[in-house]
Structure 1
Amino acid sequence: MRYMMSYDLMESSRIMGQWMGSTAKALFGAPSLGLVPNPVIATLAAWGEVAERSFARMVAKPDWGIDTVTGADGRDHVVTPTVVGPGAFGDLLHFDVAGRSAMPRRILLVAPMSGHYATLLRSTVRSLLPDADVWITDWHNARDIPVSAGKFDVEDYTACIAGFLRALGPDLHVIAVCQPVPLALAATALVAAEAPEAQPATLTLIGGPVDPNAAPTEVTDFGARMTMGQLEELAIQRVGFKHRGAGRMVYPGLLQLTSFIAMNGGRHGRAFWDQTIRVAKGEAGDHDRHNRFYDEYLAVMDMTAEFYLSTVERIFKAREIARNAFHVGGVHADLGRIDRTAVNVVEGEQDDISAPGQCLAALDLLTGLPHGRKAAHLQPDAGHYGIFAGRAWRSDIRPLVLDFIDAHADVPAPRGEQRGRTIHDGSGRPVGGRTPV
C-alpha cells in the first residue's frame, strides 16, 4: 500500500461519499418533492445532509472556538490562541487572555498525536482557562509537512516535549492525555537528569499506555498480533500529489478513523441513524450534541510513518517505558531520576483504549519519587473520552487535578510568561527562531 496512488484513491473515496451525500440532499430536498406523502423522501434528504457533513469534516481542522473567558473580576476577557513555539511538526500554543494578570497556575496540556487534532482537548482547555494560564502542544497534519522537514519519531516527540518543559520553567504543571502519557513521563525524566531544578512541579497522567501489558485491550491485542512488517505493509501510505507533504510516508488519518469506528461500529451506526431521523423530523441543530461530538471525532490528521511505527514497536511491543529502558538520542530517560515532580495518575473504569492499570504502572517506575508525591484516581463508570473531556472530567476529575496542583505548587510564585526566552524543540535548536511575546 506504500504508493501515492493508494493514498489518493482513499481520498477519492471520501470525496465520492461527500458528493453522494450532497447529491441526495439536493435531489430529495427539492421543493417539488415537498408534497409527496412519503417519509422516505425526507429520510433520504436527511441522510444526504448527515453524510455530506460527515465526509466533509474528515479533512477540516476544527477551530478552537474559545473566544472569551470570565475572569475573577466578573468580566469576559478575549482569548487569543497564540503560537509561542513554532515548529515543523507541531507548535506550542498559548491561550492569551487579554487584560488578565498572570495566574498562579501555569498548565501545559500535552495533546495526543494519535489521529486527531489537539482541538480534541477543546473542552479541557475551556474548563481550565478560568483558573490557569494554559499552553498546549498543537501537532501538525503530517500530509502538510514537506519531506524536506525530515523525520519525526517517538524520540523527536519526547525531545520536543522536554524542550517545552525546560522553556516554560519549573513552576509548570503538566497534564498529558492518552497517547503522550509515556512520552511525557520520559521527557520529564530527561529534564530531571539534565537539570533537576527544572523539573515541572506536577505531572498528571490521564489514561495512557505506560505498560500496555498491564491490562490488555483490543488495541494492545492488535499490536501483539501484527508483526512490524505486516503493519508497515498494511498501514503505511505515501502522501498523494495534491498535498505539501507529497511523497512523505504516513499513517493516514482516514485509516485510523476507520479503526476507531470499527471498534464501536454498532454505537456509531446508531448515532448516525438517530441523527438522520432527527434531521428528517426537523429536530436537529447545527451545534447539537451529535454535531459537536462528531465535528471533532471525524476530523483526523495523518501521523508520520516513523512516529506511528516506533510507537507500536517501542512503546507497545518492546515496552521500553514499562521496562524503564527508553533512550532519546542515546541518552537513557531514567524514570528513577524524577524526584521533584509530583505525579498524579487518572484512569477510567470503562476505558477500552487504555484500560485501568496501564497508566497506574507509572507510579511503580518512579523509584526516586517520595510516596507522598504520588497519587492515583480511578473514575467509576467513565470511558476513555470522559476522563479528560466528558461529564466525569467536569464534575470529578478537574477539581481533583486542580487540588493536586495546588497541593504540590511548592515552587516560587509564577513569573508570567518569560519575554525573550526562546522556545526550543528539545535538541537545543530554536524552533523557528521566534520568541514568545
Structure 2
Amino acid sequence: MLYYLFEYFDKTLNIPGTGVFQYITFRSALAIILSLLISTVFGKRIITFLANQQVGETVRELGLKGQAQKAGTPTMGGLIIILATLIPVLLLTKLNNIYIILLIVTTLWMGTIGFVDDYIKIFKKDKEGLKGIFKVFGQVGLGLIVGSVLYLHPGVVLRKETPKTIALNQTENVISQAAIEEKSTATTIPFLKNNEFDYAELLSWMGDGYENWAWIVFIPIVIFIITAVSNGANLTDGIDGLAAGTSAISVLALGIFTFVSGNIIFSSYLNIMYIPNSGEMTVFIAAFVGSLIGFLWYNSYPASVFMGDTGSLTIGGIIAVLAISVRKELLIPLLCGIFLVENFSVVLQVSYFKFTKKRFGEGRRIFLMSPLHHHYQKKGYHESKIVTRFWIVGILLAILSIVTLKLR
C-alpha cells in the first residue's frame, strides 16, 4: 500500500526522495526492520493474550529432561510470525505481483490449517489435532493452486539465456533485450555445468507436442514438494528455537537466490535463469526472516511461546513455494537438510520398527527416539546445545547451497 502511495508521490507529485520506494533493496530493509519490531514489540502482547485464553501446550510424557516444565507454555505463536510477515508485505510490496499473491495465499492457507489443528488440540482437548488426511488434503489443495498458477499464469516466465552484452551510455546501462521471455517448466540442477532441466522432457516419449502436457508432471511435483517440506518443518518443531532458527537460515539463502534471479544484471553475470518480476519476493523474504528472528526472541530456550502447527506448517509451505518459484526446488534436500534428516529419521524409525516386529516378533529401533533431535536429548545433550549445533549445520548447508551459483 505504501509502495503505491509513494509511487503516486514520485510520479505524479514529483516529491523529491519518494522514488526510493522503487528500489527492492530499500523496501526489503524496511520490511525486515518493521517485521522485527512487530514480532518483538507486539509479540509480547500476543503471548499475554494467548496465556489469558489458556492456550497452553499439553506435553506428552516422553521421558525427556525438562519436558514436563514446558506444560502450559502458550502455543499458536505462529500467529506472531504470520502477522509480522503479512503486515510489512501488504505495506511495502507490489500487491499485483503474481509471486507475492501466491506467497500471501500460501501464508494464509497453511496458517489456517495449522490454526485449526492447534485449536482442536487445545480447546477440544484432542491430542491428535486435525486428522492427518485433512492436513494432506489441505497441502495437496495448496500444491494444486500453486502448480496451476505457475504453469498457466502469463506473468510467470523466464529467460534461460540472459544477455551477455551490456551497452553503456552517459546516463544508464542499457541491456540487450535479444533474449526472449518464455513460459517454461525448466528448473535448475545444482552442481552441473549445463544445469537446466525441463520437466516437460520427461514426456518426450509422447512425440510432437509433448510440451503441452508438461502440467501432468509439473503440478504433481509441486504438490509433493509443498507437502514434504511443510511436514518436514512440522517435525522439526520439537525443541525451543530449532524450527524458527533453521528456517531463518534457509529462507535467508533463498533470499539471495531470489534477488539475483530477479535481477537481469546479476543473473547475466552468474549465468543463471533470469525470472522477471521474481525479485519482488525479496521484500516478502525480508519480512519473513525478520518475523522468524523476532519470534526467536521469545522462542529461544526457555521458550515463552511455541509456534505450534500454526507456525510450522506455514513456514514449510512458504519455503517450498519460494524454492519452486525461483526454480531452486532441487536444492531443497541440501538447503533444508535439517528438515530432510528430521523427516527421514521418523520414516526410518517407523519402517525399521514394523519390519523387525514382523521379522523377529518384536519391534526394534534405530534411534533412541525420533525425530532426530529427540534422539540427542535421550543421549543427554541439553536442548540448547542441540539447537545451536543444528543451526551451525544449517548455516553450512546454506553456504554450500549459495556456492552452487558458481560451483558447477
TM over 0.5: no
TM-score using structure 1 length: 0.25
TM-score by length of 2: 0.26
Larger fraction in helix: 2
